[in-house]
Chains A and B, each alone.
Chain A
């Protein structure tokens, strides 16, 4: 029985068994009860969070014409972590990409996140969708996500509608709602009304096996949420007017802004040259965007909101209103004019002298408005040039010159109304007089105004002293009813009684024998307008015209700028006239000058 000597070793062996078992229990305790990573990884393994993309809200014009709708599209998505060794060549053939593109796309997706999904190939065609879907089980980590594309049935108002594009990394960082590959409004109302239009994404949780094959919904869809469609939007824009304006502005650089004075609703917002918004949708966007961006006529640039011009002679209306309000002139005040020999500003129009206010507007007499300006700035009441200048400036700010509107437009520039500090700096304190800044009197110099501000100026005159912030969206269809946008009424510093003589003058511009727009006089509608011929450093003068109609109950206020087109009366005035007729009459007897406008090409291509 010699082995008895070693019997005690059974205790050690038992101990080893117990020790190993305890180690296992501790390890199990840690892995199953303490470390939460594994639960997470298990979910990542088996659960696919499939985003349910809501249909983006539709967009209509003010008369209910559809401007933007959706079309189904399919994105090929990838979760890099799940991608196994696959037959790359076959895969590339199915998707229709090269091997280099494949590598590049995978790198991009990995760079974003290896465990989150990103778009591998956006907007594959319906045909390849069917084909890919069938073969997808072979390619773990890939799946197809359906979403919608924007479609524009009328190819108009590109700037106002804007476009949507893939969300950028910075936008994702700012707003966690968005994920890589999501679409977001990048400009126009798509941007300004992004939260209304986008709707609410839904989520379906699916279980998949190791080959990424769907195995049904998770917990019978207990945690699934349905997508909520975006809200439909009705714009203030009139499709017919917008299209007509774009037609008139074809082959010209410039813009048209038309506003309904009683509401501030923008009836047309035209920036020319424009582009077909369908060019920036889907896969073709990739080629088209850089092409549009590189175009020398800048079709992507929204001139109506972003271009700033000296207002030229159209500014004389503001000058007159300030003079009347300040009491330094009356409608009967006269200033002498010596025509081309006038000092310090000559007059390009040949007329008798001296004129009273109405005729001065009709004839756009420079020396007259220089006189008005001098009377305001040199008004002894304020004690100094600087103080009276600031007063003058206050009036302009009340017209919202030099400021942006509280509006729903996605982009806008403020223009420029120089402050007295500017001249102090430029000329030295108390070293400048009305004479020094005389070009302001005829809307030149440092004064810069956007076409939107010009149109708003017209609305102010049409309303005799107030305006509503111009806006582009009329109503939003919400689940709980329709919201109508009603911006605040804003009152200028000019009393209503001072507007009549100015309006009379504007009436004469069309209807007076010597009016600067007398060639476009219309017997069916009484129109009021003011021409502007704006000197600028970019070549030929800009042709500018501001108008409203009809005289007794203004329904439309409009500003037209045609860059480098010469006199205000040559291009801007007839375009504005045609626009007003179009809006007020719909079908109208086409005046002979329309042909000239349609045929003229000022871009030279």
Chain B
């Protein structure tokens, strides 16, 4: 136990408890003042926290080898539960992603991130594996693609998007940086397409290509490469435009438009983000104080105990509290990188990066969303948001890594 990384454990405990307090504040009402009242979300969260700690203890008591040996099995089991959900699941808010066990609901998709991380670590840690081999790379992608497909079939795009984050794992494992670079480039081009008139954008791209050709060493190869990129960009612009208008559902189009500032429908899709900003913005420097947040307490912010829990932090604890939370995440994430790097086994290290990637993605997208920097993608803030599945899943994700990390010195 002395090899257990207690720092991370304390950060974890601090986050879930602070999260619990904020859930209490967010859904506080005078009729149910006790934070232990299990008819309310905060009371329920208390049960989730208690069971999570129990879960963590169980995980820590496992043999570390268990996870690498049974990685594929765990992956397959969770995948199976996804299929079960698709057939027998309960539909909540348009998503068929809940499985009911008694009066409790679970979302297997939350655990799928963990399972996929495990399987991916197992697959990539194979000594024969070479990321430069295209066929191997494709196999790794398939491990990710299957759950993504299943989750998308459940109509839970937010969770499906999380799997994009595994590209960080690939990157660390030696995937050429250009792929990441191209990915980011495509993302920028995607937003520009939606923001700027297509013909003007193509004109700008052509001009840019011309300037680059003029500047660089004009070998036929270079010129052809750049012209090829230009052609690809133009095709991309038109296909994005087509896809946006014909493939995306209207509410998804609206969300993107609101984010891009093209729409200001304050009662529709922009409402969440606007109210979220009002709540956070009105917190000021030191916040309004515990239970004094009017915006979150009086339900102006939707989903305030789940996806928008950060609003409560921003409103009641102000700039100070918000910074503490952001800093805590930054600290945890950097620590996870360091911990992953100190692993002697490739499996542990890759799994560590998977943990990092998943938490990083949730952190970035969730807080980015509440701050109006990202589109509204309904994913929880790890350890903070209300919800049993996500808390259990994140606890499992983190403590499996802590268990592996505790074993690091025993591996030669």
Interface residues of chain A, those whose CB is within 8 Å of chain B, are 2-3, 5-7, 9-10, 13-14, 16-18, 20-21, 23-25, 27-29, 31-33, 35, 37-39, 41-43, 45-46, 84, 207-211, 215
Contact = CB atoms under 8 A, between A and B. Distances in A.
B283 A32 contact: yes
A3 B173 contact: yes
Nearest to A24: B326
B172 A6 contact: yes
Interface stretch (B86-94, B146-154, B230-238, B317-325): B317-325
B172 A45 contact: no
A63 B363 CA distance: 79
Contacts of B333: 17
Nearest to A13: B337
B284 interface: yes
Nearest to B125: A3
A431 B361 CA distance: 102
B280 to A, nearest CB: 6
B411 to A, nearest CB: 14
Nearest to B280: A31
Contacts of B280: 28, 31-32, 38
Contacts of A24: 326, 367-368, 371
What are the 4 closest A-B residue pairs judged by CB atoms, nearest first? A38-B281, A42-B282, A209-B298, A21-B330
A114 to B, nearest CB: 10
A14 B145 CA distance: 27
B323 to A, nearest CB: 6
B173 A6 contact: yes
Contact of B337 (A14, A29, A33, A207): A14
B364 interface: yes
Interface string B168-189: 1001111000000000000000
A41 B278 contact: yes
Contacts of A41: 274, 278, 281-282
Listed residue (B294, B318, B322, B364) with the most chain A CB atoms within 10 angstroms of its CB: B294
Contacts of B373: 23, 27
Interface size class of B (residues with CB under 8 A): 35 or more
Given A7-B341, A33-B284, A38-B282, 10 more contacts: A3-B173, A28-B280, A28-B314, A31-B277, A31-B280, A32-B314, A45-B294, A45-B300, A84-B267, A210-B298
A534 B207 CA distance: 93
B319 A33 contact: yes
Given A3-B173, A18-B330, A28-B323, A42 B294 contact: yes
Give the secondary structure class of A's interface: helix
A211 B371 contact: no
B327 interface: yes
Interface string B319-349: 1001100110110011001101100001001
19 contacts: A10-B172, A10-B338, A10-B341, A20-B360, A20-B363, A23-B373, A25-B326, A27-B371, A32-B280, A32-B283, A32-B284, A33-B284, A38-B282, A39-B281, A42-B294, A45-B275, A45-B294, A209-B299, A210-B299
A39 B356 CA distance: 35
B306 interface: no
Interface in B253-291: 267, 274-275, 277-285
Nearest to A6: B174
A23 to B, nearest CB: 7
Contacts of A16: 360
Contacts of B314: 28, 31-32
Contacts, number: 118
A7 B174 CA distance: 9
Contacts of A25: 323, 326
Contact of A28 (B274, B294, B299, B322): B322
A17 B334 CA distance: 7
B22 interface: no
Contacts of A21: 326-327, 329-330
B390 interface: no
B52 interface: no
Interface string B353-371: 0001000100110011001
A3 B281 contact: no
B295 interface: yes
A17 B361 CA distance: 10
A24 B338 CA distance: 22
Contacts of B173: 3, 6
A253 B282 CA distance: 66
A477 to B, nearest CB: 42
A42 B279 contact: yes
Nearest to A41: B278
Contacts of A35: 281
Contact of A38 (B278, B285, B323, B330): B278
B306 to A, nearest CB: 16
Nearest to A211: B299
A6 B277 CA distance: 40
Contacts of B278: 38, 41-42, 45
A346 B251 CA distance: 94
A210 B279 CA distance: 13
B143 to A, nearest CB: 19
A395 B198 CA distance: 86
Contacts of A23: 373
Nearest to B371: A27
B126 to A, nearest CB: 12
A84 B373 CA distance: 26
A29 B371 contact: no
Contacts of A211: 299
Contacts of A84: 267
Nearest to A42: B282
Contacts of A9: 171-172
A46 B300 contact: yes
A16 B278 CA distance: 28
Contacts of B368: 20, 24
Contacts of B337: 10, 13-14, 17
A207 B280 CA distance: 18
A5 B314 CA distance: 42
A32 B326 contact: no
Given A28-B280, A32-B283, A42-B295, A3 B349 contact: yes
A33 B300 contact: no
A62 B85 CA distance: 86
